Amino acid sequence: MNDQYKYTPADFKSDQEVKWCPGCGDHAILSSVLKALPEVAEALKYKHERFTFVSGIGCSSRFPYYMNTFGFHGIHGRASAIATGVKVANPKLTVWVPTGDGDSLAIGGNHFIHAVRRNIDINIMLFNNEIYGLTKGQYSPTSKLGKVTKTSPFGTIEHPFTPGELVLGARGTFFARSVDAEVGLTKDCLVAAAKHDGTSVVEVLQNCVIFNDKTHADFALDKETRAEHTIVLKHGEKMVFGKNRDKGLVQIGMKLMVVKIGEGGVTIDDILTHNAHEPNPGVHMMLVNMRYPNYPVALGVIRDVPDHTYDDNFYDQVESVKSKRAIRCVDDLLHSGETWEIK
């Protein structure tokens, strides 16, 4: 009876009116998520009631209200901590964390890196619009250096985080990146994230139409721009990109380089093959750090390395201690160790 895991996007959509601004990238992400969940349910044999969304604060964090799943709208920055508790309490749940660059990299930076370090099996969807939207336009930890915002009227003087670099630095096992408008790619990344055991981080480069419009436009404005200035990585496939798929990446020493296939004797054999399962983060680190205009921006599943998860280790330990136990109930516990009788 495989039917019991068959759902449609409508099964996951709540009756709440979606209140993001018209033109906000979040609408497209919501659509990707609604498409991804039926696929996840079928592939992993998850019933509807196992899906749980946990968020913090910010535009992105309103997400759970728009899902007809279990949902918890928490407090600013703490979503991954709350989600960790949910997953440890009931490891059968599939736990999703919609979050933003302010929520998870500023106020929640500590919880974010520790969730990644523990490798607890939750799926973090990081909507990166490089701005604070809900508080109306202040710079975020991913805003570009020099960015003029309401709290940086003369430009920021802070270096931004690259989320992928942070994930790798925290020994992350899964990192993927997409662009809000690429609904299909985002969906694929989310399905891959769900299939990965451990903390999965999917960064979606998202446009805030009101406070930071076109922040990703240089490389992501439209299909044509994206074809030329982004590269969609697939495990086991050559790292090629461009409208005509005539450009590729090669490694020269400790650096990646963009080359044109067919020019200067470069053949397809010279082009790097993407290995998302490689534990050594060296190439993955170079990939997440590729920036326009010198490089295409890397999209797709960049890293997907199997490793022990926190929740598996957690329950393995509980079971192993239980199997050797002498204490089976509270009465046993109270009488354990030194006792004496007064007659």
Partner 1 sequence: MDKSHVVELDDVVIRFSGDSGDGMQLTGTLFSDTSAFLGNGISTFPDYPAEIRAPQGTVSGVSGFQVHFGSRKVSTPGDFCDVLVAMNPAALKANACWLKRGATIIVDNDTFNEKHIEKAGFQTDDPFRELNLDGYNIVRPDITTMTREALKEIDLDPKSITKCKNMFALGICFFVYHRPMEHTEHYIDTKFAKKNPLIATANKLALQAGYNYAANTHAFANTFDVQPADLPKGVYRSISGNQATAWGFIAASEKSGRPLFCGSYPITPATVILEELAKRKDLGVKTLQAEDEIAGICTAIGASFAGNFAVTTTSGPGLSLKSEAIGLAVMTELPLVIVDVQRGGPSTGLPTKPEQADLYQALWGRNGECPLVVIAASTPSNCFDYAFRAGKIAMEHMTPVLMLSDGFIANGSEPWRIPSMADYPKINPPIITKAPEGGFMPYRRDPKRLARYWALPGTKGVEHRVGGLEKDFLKGSVSHNPANHQNMVNIRAEKVARVADFIPKQEVMGKKSGDLLVVGWGGTYGHLSTAVSDLQKEGKSVSLCHFNYINPLPHGVREIFKRFRKIVVCELNMGQFANYLRMNFQEFEYLQYNKVQGLPFTVTELKEKFNSLLTE
Q: Pick the piece of the chain touching partner 1 (CB under 8 A) from 106-114, 184-192, 267-275, 283-291.
A: 106-114
Per CB under 8 A, the list member of 18, 21, 31, 88 interacting with partner 1 is 88
Name the residue nearer to partner 1 (CB basis): 254 or 330: 330
Question: Other C-beta atoms within 10 Å of 332: how many?
Answer: 11
Show the tokens assigned to 341. 């009788």
Smallest separation (angstroms) from partner 1 to the CB of 77? 8
Per CB under 8 A, the list member of 25, 38, 58, 74 interacting with partner 1 is 74
Smallest separation (angstroms) from partner 1 to the CB of 267? 49
Amino acid, res. 164: G
263 binds partner 1 (CB under 8 A): no
User: 339 with 313: CB under 8 angstroms?
Assistant: no
135 binds partner 1 (CB under 8 A): no
User: 87 with 60: CB under 8 angstroms?
Assistant: no
User: 58 with 103: CB under 8 angstroms?
Assistant: yes
Q: Is the peptide bond before 293 cis (omega within 30 degrees of 0)?
A: yes
CA atoms in the 13 A half-sphere facing the CB of 139: 21
Q: Pick the piece of the chain touching partner 1 (CB under 8 A) from 148-156, 188-196, 293-301, 332-340.
A: 332-340
Instruction: Measure the CA–CA gap between 91 and 157, rounded to whole angstroms.
Output: 43
330 binds partner 1 (CB under 8 A): yes
5 binds partner 1 (CB under 8 A): no
54 binds partner 1 (CB under 8 A): yes
Instruction: Measure the CA–CA gap between 235 and 311, rounded to whole angstroms.
Output: 26
User: 288 with 302: CB under 8 angstroms?
Assistant: yes
Q: End-to-end distance of the chain based on CA atoms, in angstroms?
A: 64
Show the tokens assigned to 160. 């931004």
Name the residue nearer to partner 1 (CB basis): 75 or 266: 75
CA atoms in the 13 A half-sphere facing the CB of 149: 26
User: x/- contact string, 30-49, with partner 1 (CB under 8 A)?
Assistant: -----------------xxx
10 binds partner 1 (CB under 8 A): no
* Cα–Cα distance list, 308 to 46, 50, 305 (Å): 21, 22, 10
Name the residue nearer to partner 1 (CB basis): 107 or 179: 107
Per CB under 8 A, the list member of 32, 52, 119, 128 interacting with partner 1 is 52
Name the residue nearer to partner 1 (CB basis): 157 or 330: 330
Amino acid, res. 321: V
Smallest separation (angstroms) from partner 1 to the CB of 196? 21
Per CB under 8 A, the list member of 30, 81, 105, 239 interacting with partner 1 is 81
Per CB under 8 A, the list member of 9, 42, 50, 307 interacting with partner 1 is 50
How many residues lie near partner 1 (CB under 8 A)? 60
Per CB under 8 A, the list member of 73, 144, 195, 235 interacting with partner 1 is 73
> Could you tell me the sign of the dihedral formed by the alpha carbons of 90, 97, 32, 167, in that order?
negative
215 binds partner 1 (CB under 8 A): no
| Of residues 290-329, those binding partner 1 (CB under 8 A) | 314, 317-318, 321-322, 324-329
User: 76 with 56: CB under 8 angstroms?
Assistant: yes
> Could you tell me the sign of the dihedral formed by the alpha carbons of 306, 309, 315, 318, in that order?
positive
User: 226 with 184: CB under 8 angstroms?
Assistant: no
Positions in the binding site for partner 1 (CB under 8 A): 14, 16, 47-50, 52, 54-55, 57, 64-65, 67-75, 78, 81-90, 92-93, 110-111, 114, 314, 317-318, 321-322, 324-331, 333-335, 337-343
